[in-house]
Structure 1
Amino acid sequence: MIQWRELSKFVAYFMFIIWALLSSNAFAQQDMVAEPDWLKAQIADKQPVVIFDTRSKEDYDKGHIPTAISFPVDDTYVIKDGVYYVKNKVTIAPLLREKGVTKDATIVVYDQGELMQASRLFWVLELYGVKNVAILNGGLNAWQQHNALSQTVNTLPKSDFVPVLKSNIYASTTVAKVAVHNPNYELYDSRTYDEYLGKKSVTDKYGRIPKAKYIELSEFFTTNEGGQKILKPKSELSDILSKLDNNKKTITYCNKGTASTLSYFLLKQAGFNVAHYDGSWLDWSAKGLPIEK
């Protein structure tokens, strides 16, 4: 018969193993944010973390985080009549396989520091079934403060990844139109404030989608000791987002689909039921849909 003391030791050991496994998964899943120091440790310990650089290939070649793989975010778009949409499952599958994407990989994405390109790839990967994705806080700017860059080109073996659309985080034109009239939906405009007010526009239509509220992305950022732009602490982000209604289905949009994926990321991290409007303002105005000022 197993003695109580032996059983207690076994339970304690088992709990320690569970804790160690969870701790090794560096970024907490509810946060979806990776810090530079943590990423540096993962690289040094040769942990299986996939790092994607979302900047242009030209910028990647000038210098990037060691082991990072070039994945320009523009590769995720298809352009139809001047409107930028995410590639569908058929057209994006070869790209994701070429980059070595697998659904269970731990992936960190980064850009120069604005987090918009990184957020775009975050959304695309999540949209097509990748589970564990985080954004590097402060991007390359924050990394460079204390860490060296590399010019070694990195790749992964091609995978057999099969994209599966996560439809609840994708908003089509139809969903956006429903959101305008349905009180259970909230729309957030992530363009500049002048564009929101209808003073400026990248199209020939001036204004915003009816009932949309403005979300000021700069409120979510601060600077670190080196003057680099980083996300505010989680407690401060929660205070900002507490002013928004998280009981409704939330739809974010911008002009092309980068700023609004940052809004998507911030709201997603805070537990909102949120989707990104694919095509955004370019799609809405091209279709001659109602606007307000």
Structure 2
Amino acid sequence: MSALITVEELRALGERPVLIDVTWNLAGPPGKEAYDAGHIPGAYFVDLDTELAGPPGPGRHPLPAATTVTAALRRAGVGPSTPVVVYDAANSMAAARAWWIFRYFGVRDVRVLDGGLAAWQAAGGEVTTEVPAAGNGSFIATAGHIPMLDADGAAEVAAAGVLLDARAPERFAGEVEPMDPVAGHIPRAVNAPTTANVDETGHFLLPDELRERFEKLGVDGSTQVGVYCGSGVTAAHEALALEITGISSAVYIGSWSEWITDPSRPIAIGR
């Protein structure tokens, strides 16, 4: 089953899955404001900063506690076998974080709505400001259902496999750093800006196009692949793009914002 679902496929389902809106903007305003202004009917809001991440330190978006994920999914009415579809405004950057977190904590059937709310509206889908009543789900989150990297693991993948850095080229090169106090990248990492995985409408490129892109970066399915970014959000988007091509990867969830908290870890500059 694909990690993505189209608007047409979602509409064709006989029984609609639980819909979760994770609209989020790194620079603000808060995603809840956008959700309140209009969302897909029946969708529940889950906050990326407080429910898909733990309190900052080390790293800006560390793993949330299993109890936090349990509470969020139960509020949305999710049980052990409930299918879930997550979406955001358009490009799936935040939705991919939810996709990854939910899989890591044991959700068996979770997909991302390709193109997000923008695609839904472009296809004539209605939006509402009505908030659904809290559900009474029975899901219990448990950690470790998919691979995850720590700092040492990321360094090992960079040395023996392919470690993709999902940030913009200028951040990778250390030319600018708007979010973290130290600029640069993990030595031997390969820059693969995840913004290039989607088109101008926020839809993911076709699998063959993504496969060709990753092959040019050294990802051919023959070696371990890891991904990281600034704080573990867009890294999940890169992992989702890889999943679409059939390639599994491990996310360094602490990412650059955690890497730099240990001054003994090496830093590379340049492209």
Give, in angstroms, the shift of residue 168 of structure 1: 4.0
Partner of residue 163, structure 2? 187
1:54 is aligned to 2:35: no
> What is the match of residue 76 of structure 1?
52
Q: How does the TM-score come out when normalised to structure 2?
A: 0.87
| Contact kept? 1:189, 1:253, Cα under 8 Å | yes
CA distance in 2, matches of 1:188, 1:267: 11
Q: After the TM superposition, which of the residue ranges 151-160 and 69-78 deviates more from structure 2? A: 151-160
Mapped pair 1:98 → 2:57: no
Q: Hey, what does 2:9 align to over in structure 1?
A: 38
Distance 2:79 2:148 in 1: 20
What residue is the counterpart of 2:206 in the other structure?
233
User: Runs of 5+ in structure 2 lacking a partner?
Assistant: 24-30
Q: Which has the higher strand share?
A: 1
After superposition, residues 139-288 of structure 1 pair within 5 angstroms as: 139-145=116-122, 146-166=124-144, 168-181=146-159, 183=160, 185-201=161-177, 202-223=179-200, 228-243=201-216, 244-288=219-263
Provide closer, same or farther for how the CA distance between residues 108 and 168 of structure 1 changes in structure 2, counting only shifts above 3 A.
closer
With over 3 angstroms needed to count, the CA separation of the structure-2 counterparts of 1:167 and 1:48, relative to structure 1, is closer
- Moved segments of 4+, more than 3 Å: none
Higher helix share: 1
Say how many residue pairs are matched. 255
Q: Tell me: higher relative CO, structure 1 or 2? Use CA pairs within 8 A at least 6 residues apart.
A: 2
If the length of structure 1 is used for normalisation, what is the TM-score?
Answer: 0.81
Residue number in structure 1 paired with 2:26:
none
Q: CA RMSD in A?
A: 1.9
Match of 2:19, SS state, is strand
Deviation of the 1:219 alpha carbon:
2.8
Say which one has the larger Rg. Answer: 1
Identity %: 25
Give CA deviations for 1:38-85 in whole Å, capped at 9, x if unaligned.
Answer: 22333xx5x141110002222111111112111122221112336220
1:69-126 Cα offsets, whole Å, 9 max, x none, are 1112222111233622011324433333233222321111100012110000000000
Q: Which secondary structure does the structure 2 equivalent of 1:262 belong to?
A: helix
- Counterpart Cα distance in 2 of 1:95 and 1:264: 23
